[in-house]
Amino acid sequence: MDTTLHHLDRGDGRLAYTSHGAGPLVVLVPGMGDLRSTWRDLAGPLAEAGHRVIALDLRGHGDSDATFAELGLVPIAQDVLALLEHLDEPAVIIGNSVGAGAAAWVANARPDLVAGLVLIAAHLQDHGPAGLAARLQVSLLLRRPWGPAAWAWYYRSLNNGHQAPWLGEHINALRASLRRPGRMEAFGALARSLVTDKVDIAVQDIQAPALVLYGEGDKEFPDPAAELDWLVERLPQATGSLIPDSGHYPQGQRPDVVVPAVLGHVATLPRTDSAWVSGAARA
């Protein structure tokens, strides 16, 4: 399995990603303040099922550069789109939190490059002042010198319910990453942009078949079950599940539920031996 680190030049910085396996492309996009290793329980089974699996570090995160001038949902989505264009093939995009929002943005903008979606803990409904207040509180935590420790505490709190056996190791890696030059500043800028920048994604126009997953105890949302229903009702081709005993990161908290759900979803999508049948070709 190829785990060599690759880079994609985006002009004012490089994106880091790893590639696993061979076959139709699956791109894994983590959430704000996270690392591509959040997908460790899902990447292997997807590769074993006959897919080329790309796990991406967001701009300013992990092994991606912290030199980017713009931080926000749209720049993240544009990075994912640039990666698909670079690889020159359609993909199933699996995203968590802001990564799920970026996946939805790409599916809306370039349906020809998106064969399917898995949206985990997606922030796509506007909760008005209450939602902005919650994000503002997070952005205020992300100040030096306490920023890495504050994020580690908050990240652990979002893993309420069952916790992955590797959670402590992962949180230590998050703290170490945020201590690298420029990364705490980039993370803070991203958090502030998610407070101030309103991005409307016409989810009702997305044609890619989608699987929508929320942790039943996800504290990022007033009512995760209502969030799930809201999104599934608006996506033209969507199914959804509420994942028990999990918070904001069900891909790591309940892989026993999430992995078979994701594998089942991607198995329904049209493909050849080496590639997906793109949205444009299906139309």
- The span from the CA of 148 to the CA of 133, in Å, is 21
Q: By CB neighbour count within 10 A (0-12 exposed, 13-18 middle, 19+ buried), where does 91 fall?
A: buried
| Predicted local distance difference test score (pLDDT) of residue 142 | 61
pTM of the model: 0.93
Local structure of 138: helix, strand or coil? helix
- The span from the CA of 34 to the CA of 147, in Å, is 14
Written as tens digits, the pLDDT of the chain (283 aa) is 446 799 999 999 999 999 999 999 999 999 999 999 999 999 999 999 999 999 999 999 999 999 999 999 999 999 999 999 999 999 999 999 999 999 999 999 999 999 999 999 999 987 654 444 455 556 566 666 667 888 899 999 999 999 999 999 999 999 999 999 999 889 888 988 887 778 889 999 999 999 999 999 999 999 999 999 999 999 999 999 999 999 999 999 999 999 999 999 999 999 988 889 865 544 4
Confirm if 84 and 109 have CB atoms less than 8 A apart.
Answer: no
If you count DSSP H runs as helices and E runs as strands, how many of each does the chain have, helices first?
11, 8
Residue written as token pair 């016409």: 202
| Predicted local distance difference test score (pLDDT) of residue 126 | 74
| Predicted local distance difference test score (pLDDT) of residue 129 | 46
DSSP-H helix ranges across the chain: 40-48, 73-87, 98-109, 128-141, 147-157, 167-178, 183-196, 224-234, 250-253, 255-267, 279-282
Confirm if 256 and 42 have CB atoms less than 8 A apart.
Answer: no
Is cis: bond before 145, omega within 30 of 0? yes
Ranges of each domain in the chain: 5-282
| Predicted local distance difference test score (pLDDT) of residue 195 | 77
Phi, psi of 183 (to 5 degrees): -80, -35
DSSP-H helix ranges across 25-158: 40-48, 73-87, 98-109, 128-141, 147-157
- The span from the CA of 188 to the CA of 165, in Å, is 28
- Cβ-proximal residues to 18 (8 Å cutoff; 6+ apart), any chain: 2, 3, 4, 5, 6, 36, 54, 55
| Predicted local distance difference test score (pLDDT) of residue 164 | 97
CATH for the 5-282 domain, from 3.60.110.10, 3.40.50.1820, 3.90.1150.10, 3.30.365.10: 3.40.50.1820
